[in-house]
Amino acid sequence: MNTPLRFILFIFAALMLSGCDGQKNANESLTVLAGSELKDMEPLLGDIENKTGIKLQMTYSGTLDGAEKLIAGEPTDLAWFSHGKYISLVQGDRNRILAQEKTMLSPVLLGVKESAAKAWGWSDNPNLTWRDIAAKADSGELRYAMADPASSNSGFTALVGVATALSGSSDALSIKDIDQAQLSGFFKGQQLSAGSSGWLTDAFVKEQARLNGIINYESVLMALNRDKRLDEQLVLIYPKEGIITADYPLMLINGEKREAYNKLVAYLTSPEFQQKMMEQTLRRPVIPQVKLSEDFASPLLVELAFPNDLAAIDKLLFAYEDKHRRSSHAYFVLDVSGSMAGARMQSLQTALKNLTGQDQTLSGRFSRFRSRETLTFIPFDNQVYPAKTFTINDPGSQSADMQAVRQYADSLQPLGSTGIYQALQAAYRMALEARHKDPDRFYSIVLMTDGENNAGLSEDGFAQFIAALAPQDRGIKTFTILFGDASQEGMKQLAEITEGRLFDGRESLNQAFKTIRGYQ
Amino acid sequence: MRKLIAPLLTLLLVLGLGAGIYVSVNEQLAKQSTVKVRGLIGSEKEDFFRDPRVIEALAKQGLAVEVEKAGSRQIATQFKLKDYDFAFPSGAPAAEKIKREANVNKAYEVFFTPMAVASWKLIAGILEANGIVSQRDGVYYIIDLTRLLQFVTAEKRWSDLSKNGGYNVKKSLLVGTTDVRQSNSAAMYLSLASYILNNNNIVDSAAQIGPIIQPLESLFLRQGFVENSSAAPFKDYLVMGPGKAPLVMIYEAQYLEEASRANSGVSDAMALLYPEPTIFTKHILVPFNDKGDRLGAALADDPELQKLAIEHGFRNHDAAGFRDFVKSHNLAVPDTLVNVVEPPTFEMLEQMIVMIEQRYKGN
Interface size A-B, in CB pairs within 8 Å, comes to 101
Q: Within an 8 Å CB–CB cutoff, is residue A509 touching chain B? A: no
Put simply, the answer to whether A173 touches B224 (Cβ < 8 Å) is yes
Q: Which fold has domain A327-519?
A: Rossmann fold (3.40.50)
Reported confidence tier of residue A115, pLDDT bands at 50, 70, 90: very high
Mean confidence (pLDDT) of chain A: 91
Q: What's residue A206's pLDDT?
A: 94
Q: What's residue B139's pLDDT?
A: 76
| A-chain residues near B267 (CB < 8 A) | 288
A519, amino acid identity: Y
Put simply, the answer to whether A170 touches B244 (Cβ < 8 Å) is no
- The C-alpha of B157 sits at a distance from chain A's nearest C-alpha, in angstroms, of 7
Within chain B, all domains assigned CATH 3.40.190.10 are found at: 34-112+281-328, 114-280+336-360
**CA-to-CA distance for A314 and A57, rounded, in angstroms?**
31
> Which of B225, B235, B247, B360 is the mutation pick for testing A, counting most A CBs within 10 A?
B225
Q: Within an 8 Å CB–CB cutoff, is residue A175 touching chain B? A: no
| A-chain residues near B16 (CB < 8 A) | 15
| A-chain residues near B221 (CB < 8 A) | 172, 308
Percent of chain A with pLDDT over 90: 75
Q: What's residue A278's pLDDT?
A: 97
Put simply, the answer to whether B360 touches A308 (Cβ < 8 Å) is yes
- The C-alpha of A125 sits at a distance from chain B's nearest C-alpha, in angstroms, of 14
Question: Which of A8, A102, A170 has the CB atom closest to B170's CB atom?
Answer: A170
| A-chain residues near B244 (CB < 8 A) | 245, 301, 303
Put simply, the answer to whether B224 touches A240 (Cβ < 8 Å) is no
**Any residues with CB less than 8 A from the CB of B88 and at least 6 apart, and which?**
B39, B40, B41, B42, B45, B67, B110, B283, B284, B285, B286
What is the chain A residue with the closest CA to B172? Answer: A170
Contact A220, A127 (CB under 8 A): no
Put simply, the answer to whether B171 touches A309 (Cβ < 8 Å) is no
Question: Which of A171, A289, A305 has the CB atom closest to B263's CB atom?
Answer: A289
**CA-to-CA distance for A225 and A228, rounded, in angstroms?**
5
Q: Within an 8 Å CB–CB cutoff, is residue B360 touching chain A? A: yes
Q: Within an 8 Å CB–CB cutoff, is residue A87 touching chain B? A: no
Q: Within an 8 Å CB–CB cutoff, is residue B73 touching chain A? A: no
Q: Report pLDDT digits (tens) over A31-85.
A: 999 998 899 999 999 999 999 999 999 999 877 788 888 988 899 999 999 988 8
| B-chain residues near A286 (CB < 8 A) | 235, 239
Q: Within an 8 Å CB–CB cutoff, is residue B38 touching chain A? A: no
Q: Within an 8 Å CB–CB cutoff, is residue A262 touching chain B? A: no
Q: Within an 8 Å CB–CB cutoff, is residue B269 touching chain A? A: no
Question: Which of B6, B157, B240 has the CB atom closest to A8's CB atom?
Answer: B6
**CA-to-CA distance for A397 and A357, rounded, in angstroms?**
5
Q: Report pLDDT digits (tens) over B298-343.
A: 999 999 999 999 999 999 999 999 999 999 999 989 888 889 999 9
What's the CATH number of domain A26-105+248-281, 3.40.50.300, 3.40.190.10, 3.40.50.10140, 3.10.129.10? 3.40.190.10
Q: Report pLDDT digits (tens) over A455-480.
A: 889 989 999 999 999 988 988 999 99
Question: Which of B16, B223, B360 has the CB atom closest to A15's CB atom?
Answer: B16
Q: Within an 8 Å CB–CB cutoff, is residue A4 touching chain B? A: yes
Q: What's residue B140's pLDDT?
A: 86
The architecture of the domain spanning B114-280+336-360 is 3-Layer(aba) Sandwich (3.40)
- The C-alpha of A287 sits at a distance from chain B's nearest C-alpha, in angstroms, of 6
Question: A108-245 with A327-519: one CATH topology?
Answer: no
CATH homologous superfamily of domain B34-112+281-328? Answer: Periplasmic binding protein-like II (3.40.190.10)
What is the chain B residue with the closest CA to A4? Answer: B6
Reported confidence tier of residue A21, pLDDT bands at 50, 70, 90: very low
Element (H, E) at B98: helix B92-102
Q: What's residue A177's pLDDT?
A: 85
Contact A335, A418 (CB under 8 A): yes
Q: What's residue A454's pLDDT?
A: 86
Q: What's residue B77's pLDDT?
A: 82
| B-chain residues near A176 (CB < 8 A) | none
What dotted CATH number matches A108-245? 3.40.190.10
Q: What's residue B112's pLDDT?
A: 96
Q: Report pLDDT digits (tens) over B130-178.
A: 999 999 887 789 999 999 999 999 999 999 999 998 899 989 999 999 9
What is the chain B residue with the closest CA to A12? Answer: B13
ipTM of the complex: 0.85
| Listed residue (B146, B72, B112) closest to B279, CA to CA | B112
- The C-alpha of A65 sits at a distance from chain B's nearest C-alpha, in angstroms, of 21
- The C-alpha of B245 sits at a distance from chain A's nearest C-alpha, in angstroms, of 8
Three-class DSSP category at A381: coil
| A-chain residues near B248 (CB < 8 A) | none
| Size (chain B), residues | 363
> Which of A100, A300, A309 is the mutation pick for testing B, counting most B CBs within 10 A?
A300
Domain ranges of chain A: 26-105+248-281, 108-245, 327-519
**CA-to-CA distance for A484 and A417, rounded, in angstroms?**
14
Q: Within an 8 Å CB–CB cutoff, is residue B240 touching chain A? A: yes
Q: What's residue A22's pLDDT?
A: 37
Mean pLDDT, residues A227-233: 96
| B-chain residues near A300 (CB < 8 A) | 167, 169, 241-243
| A-chain residues near B38 (CB < 8 A) | none
Q: Kindly report the CA angle at A249 between A247 and A254, in degrees rounded to 5?
A: 170
Contact A276, A258 (CB under 8 A): no
Q: What's residue B28's pLDDT?
A: 54
Put simply, the answer to whether A171 touches B235 (Cβ < 8 Å) is no
| Listed residue (A339, A341, A370) closest to A355, CA to CA | A370
**Any residues with CB less than 8 A from the CB of A345 and at least 6 apart, and which?**
A336, A412, A414
> Which of B21, B217, B240, B266 is the mutation pick for testing A, counting most A CBs within 10 A?
B240
pLDDT above 50 for A15: no
Phi, psi of A202 (to 5 degrees): -65, -40
- The C-alpha of A2 sits at a distance from chain B's nearest C-alpha, in angstroms, of 9
Strand A106-113 to A234-237 pairing: antiparallel
Alpha-carbon dihedral A43, A47, A52, A55, rounded to 10 degrees: 40
Percent of chain B with pLDDT over 90: 78
| B-chain residues near A93 (CB < 8 A) | 78
- The C-alpha of B4 sits at a distance from chain A's nearest C-alpha, in angstroms, of 11
